[in-house]
Structure 1
Amino acid sequence: MGTPIYCDLGKLARDLFKVGYHPGLWQLDCKTMTSSGLEFFTSGFANQDASKVMGSLQSKYKVEDYGITLTERWNTENLLYGQILQKDKLAEGLMLMAEASFQPSSGDKSAKLMADLAKDNFNILGKGGINKGQPFVGGSLVVAHKEFYGGVALDYNIDDSNLVWKLGLGWTNESTTIHSELVNAEGWLVSLFHKANDQIDLGFEIGKPMSAGGGEGGEEQQSELNIGLGMIYHLEADALIRAKINNKVEVGLGYQQKLREGITMSISTVIDGMNITDGNHKFGVGLSLQC
């Protein structure tokens, strides 16, 4: 297995706080594959607060002989998206990708070219393109040695000469991952993921996002410190419980159950612990169908 790309560093801990929670939404996901190998994925969301319904349709087809994957997607906001990806054919660990999107109603156009090479002890990525008419370039490098890794990522907007850089360091083994990140010398994050046993996954995050800027009198607004603790408890092979809490006493709870082969249901909620009576509590339900 090659060294992960920079954006996947610390992913195990992040997923404990994001994956499986859909507060304020009714969500339906459907996935199927035809006999010819064409894969369809449909997703629908209904926002409980705004009474707004959104959806998307994605198709994916793999040309195994050439290592090519073709993806196209359309959503209810009339955003058209296409991607061509080739992996491991020109060279082992090499991925080449071209993608583009277009929204006729607004005229927004985006396009990106990317190349990534993953080996046992390093991962190097380069990219460039146009995002809503603004050209950009970027890249990342991750170097790994035994259980330690370090990485750097750069994104540069050519029009406004805006550079965002990230520096990550960490340590990982089969059960534990410690990850730290610095963003533009302003924002920072430290996370811990630990698999206590076959049933319990634990995660911890503490960080400070980049300052918002533009405060009154031209002064930068100070970002708050964010602290979170999350966990997953696997009740059995087909069910699990999720829980998380942060320093704002926002409590997230979730339950996921596999009803039968290809059908999974999940419910989740986020409770405002600082104001139980009149707080902005949110509840969500998700249903996933696969055949």
Structure 2
Amino acid sequence: MSIPQPVPVSWKDFGKAANDLLGRDYYFQGSSLEVKTKTPSNVAFKVAGSRDAKSDAIAADLEAKWTDKKHGLTVTQAWTTSNILRNLVEVEDQIAKGVKFDLSTSLSPEKGTKTAVLNAALKQPGFHTRASLDVFRGPTFTADAVVGRDNLFLGAEAAYNVTEGNVSRYATAIGYLSHDYSITVHALNNLNTYHASYHQRISDSTEAGAKAVYDTKATHGGVALEVGAKTVLDQSSYLKAKINNTGVLALAYSQALRPGVRATFGLAVDTQKLNDVSPSGPAHKVGVHFVFDS
């Protein structure tokens, strides 16, 4: 009797472990704040704001999210300081188990621009597929699918421009994902850009990863490399570090100050320009991010 296969990761989550390790928590572009609250009526509010260290520009948004777990319904609405209204309506596991539909829209009253994207997803053992229709851009129909067996996964994506009648984008990927480590290889942008990533959980408190990107159409040529690691210092703090092939070293330290309050500090140093000691200069950058979650 064969063992039932788990549901594979979605196309967008291929290489997620390495991407999160190398991309998240590195706040060195300025200061940012995130406040989360939840009401007894099951409405979650989130206020997020940031100030760019170089331009001093401030951007923020207010988001409200209501969830009805019994009926698989989630409604999210957001309003940004750039006067953009965003809405997301999600319905999951109502038509059939593993089927999800969502409609994402945005409106800019000042510019008169709007977007609407209808998405559908199907998750079954060994198979995960998604499809989306961008109503106002093209319209463009995009579909992706991932099949998996025994930790080996294969995926592909394609976008079709309905108006022009041609395939505007296609990509493929292969990966091996286990509890301890994962390896993924992407061929993106009509097979012109190649991404390879590796992630390993060395122990319960330490993980490491690397990523390589090669663009066949890039004028400078060569491969962009980045390696990083994360270690959990104790129950309330962790430290991350990464460095790329251009010599930029990035550090992130996250500390829980009290229950529901966390601060994350980021630093980026260009090791080829160590004489530039100004933290706000072009070579070195610092930043901080605070989260209040009640």
- TM (norm. structure 2) is 0.92
Where in structure 2 are the equivalents of 1:1-291 lying within 5 Å? Answer: 2-131=7-136, 133-158=137-162, 161=166, 163-183=168-188, 184-209=190-215, 211=217, 221-278=219-276, 279-291=282-294
Give ranges in structure 1 of 5+ residues lacking alignment: 213-220
Distance 1:162 1:257 in 2: 47
Matched residue type, 2:11: Y
TM-aligned CA deviation for residue 166 of structure 1: 1.2
Matched residue type, 2:48: S
Instruction: Spell out, residue by residue over 1:54-97, the C-alpha distance to the aligned partner (whole angstroms, 9 max, x if none).
Output: 10000000122211000001100001010110111221111111
Distance 1:154 1:270 in 2: 36
TM-aligned CA deviation for residue 158 of structure 1: 4.1
TM-aligned CA deviation for residue 3 of structure 1: 1.7
TM-aligned CA deviation for residue 168 of structure 1: 0.5
Distance 2:157 2:204 in 1: 34
SS at match of 2:273: coil
- Tell me if the contact between 2:67 and 2:75 (Cα under 8 Å) persists in the aligned partners: yes
* Worse-superposed segment, 21-30 or 248-257: 21-30
| Counterpart for residue 3 of structure 2 | none
- Tell me if the contact between 1:80 and 1:101 (Cα under 8 Å) persists in the aligned partners: yes
**Gap change, CA 1:209 and 1:76, over 3 Å in 2:** farther
**Gap change, CA 1:210 and 1:83, over 3 Å in 2:** farther
Matched residue type, 1:208: Y
Distance 2:78 2:31 in 1: 21
* Worse-superposed segment, 89-98 or 51-60: 89-98
TM-aligned CA deviation for residue 223 of structure 1: 4.5
- Tell me if the contact between 2:14 and 2:184 (Cα under 8 Å) persists in the aligned partners: yes
- Tell me if the contact between 2:27 and 2:264 (Cα under 8 Å) persists in the aligned partners: no
Distance 2:256 2:113 in 1: 40
SS at match of 1:274: helix
- Tell me if the contact between 1:257 and 1:266 (Cα under 8 Å) persists in the aligned partners: yes
- TM (norm. structure 1) is 0.93
**Taking every aligned residue pair, what percent have the same amino acid on both sides?**
24
Matched residue type, 2:148: A
Please, what is the CA RMSD of the aligned residues? Answer: 1.5
- Tell me if the contact between 2:11 and 2:155 (Cα under 8 Å) persists in the aligned partners: yes
Instruction: Spell out, residue by residue over 1:94-132, the C-alpha distance to the aligned partner (whole angstroms, 9 max, x if none).
Output: 11111110111211110011110011201011110235x
TM-aligned CA deviation for residue 154 of structure 1: 1.2
Matched residue type, 1:84: V
TM-aligned CA deviation for residue 2 of structure 1: 2.4
Distance 2:7 2:92 in 1: 13
Distance 1:24 1:114 in 2: 33
Distance 1:135 1:41 in 2: 32
- Tell me if the contact between 1:9 and 1:179 (Cα under 8 Å) persists in the aligned partners: yes
Give ranges in structure 2 of 5+ residues lacking alignment: 1-5, 277-281
- Tell me if the contact between 2:127 and 2:145 (Cα under 8 Å) persists in the aligned partners: yes
- Tell me if the contact between 1:2 and 1:93 (Cα under 8 Å) persists in the aligned partners: no
SS at match of 2:139: strand
